[in-house]
Amino acid sequence: MTRNAMIDEWYPVGLASQLDAQGRKTALMGEPIEVRLGDDGNAMVTGGNGRALPVCVRYGHVWSSPGDPQKALFAIPEADQPGRRLVDVGVVRARCSPLRAVENFLDIAHFPFVHTDILGAEPHTEVQSYKVEIREDEDEVWATQVKFYQPQAAKSAEGGITTEYMYRVPAPTCSILYKTCPPRPGEWDVITLFVQPLAEDLCDVWPWMALFDDETPMTDLIHFQQTIFVQDRSILENQIPGLLPLDPGMEIPTRADLTSVVYRRWLKRHGYTYGAQLVAQ
């Protein structure tokens, strides 16, 4: 078996705010790891054979890699903008492919049916045409000009509005959603899905947000995002096939699935196949 390109990527392995000296046992791509606060006050991650793994602390989380990352963790410039509330949503485990979790995050067509009366509502089910591209310079997937009618787009949204989104995939198991920010037109709220691949069919999902919202209590912001993800979770755990198919033939996409199509193409191009199924069966 060839070395999977995903070995050398960064993955979230815990909340920075919950680091302690006692440590936490978890896993990355099948390898047991331990995440703890070292004696020097810095985060430490140890691999299955006791070797020290690469570490960085960013966006509320501790990040590590089972391999040798060739570049720094992707940038989210908005995260450093003053005035944003940074929300640690906390972990939720899902028995599904880490790539499936990201793919679901990129999909808007399911909003009226799974996030009924929150992110979508019948009869407003149409996904209008939008743009998707692989930005070669950054080597990222971007979907732009995505518009969707939402009855309650965010905690700070009063009533229904047509919300505009941009989706960005900077790493195989991470996605960033930029979303119309009701109290601050011209800015984008940042909602991320950081996925820790435990196994090909098991992942820990760490949503995180950087919002302009001075009104909503922190707990409400956390619960809003947990509600959305747990509504998705039962769907994710029942998808067939479990591994994300990268070759055409198994699933028939529609125009609304364009982001997923390009995401899969990008995964395949890079050999990001941990949690994927290559040949349609």
Q: Select from 32, 83, 217, 253 the one that contacts another protein (CB under 8 A).
A: 217
Q: Select from 226, 239, 245, 256 the one that contacts another protein (CB under 8 A).
A: 226
Instruction: Compute how many other C-beta atoms are within 10 angstroms of the C-beta atom of residue 76.
Output: 19
Q: Is 261 in the site for another protein (CB under 8 A)?
A: no
Are 153 and 182 spatial neighbours (Cβ–Cβ below 8 Å)? yes
Taking contact as CB under 8 A, which single stretch among the options 39-47, 75-83, 112-120, 258-266 is the one that binds another protein? Answer: 112-120
Rounded Cα distance between 202 and 177, Å, is: 23
- Exposure b/e, 10-33, CB count within 10 A at least 16 = b: bbbbbbbeebeeebeebbbbeeeb
Q: Is 57 in the site for another protein (CB under 8 A)?
A: no
Taking contact as CB under 8 A, which single stretch among the options 1-9, 85-93, 167-175, 181-189 is the one that binds another protein? Answer: 85-93
Rounded Cα distance between 58 and 66, Å, is: 18
- C-alpha dihedral sign at 238, 241, 244, 246: negative
Per-residue x/- marks for another protein, 12-51, CB under 8 A?
Answer: ---x--x---------------------------------
Rounded Cα distance between 29 and 33, Å, is: 10
Q: Select from 114, 134, 199, 250 the one that contacts another protein (CB under 8 A).
A: 114
Q: Is 219 in the site for another protein (CB under 8 A)?
A: yes
Q: Is 153 in the site for another protein (CB under 8 A)?
A: no
Q: SS3 of 9, please?
A: coil
Taking contact as CB under 8 A, which single stretch among the options 115-123, 138-146, 171-179, 268-276 is the one that binds another protein? Answer: 115-123
Structure tokens at 264: 């899969």
Tell me the closest approach of the beta carbon of residue 77 to another protein, in angstroms: 26
Q: DSSP of 41-106, one letter per residue?
A: SSEEEE-TTSPBPPEEEETTEEEE-SS--SSPPPP-GGGGSTTPEEEE---EEESS-HHHHHHHHT
Tell me the closest approach of the beta carbon of residue 233 to another protein, in angstroms: 7
Q: Is 123 in the site for another protein (CB under 8 A)?
A: yes
**Nearest to another protein of 81, 234 (CB atom):** 234
The footprint of another protein (CB under 8 A) covers: 15, 18, 88-95, 113-114, 116, 122-123, 204, 217-220, 222-223, 226-228, 230-231, 233-234, 237
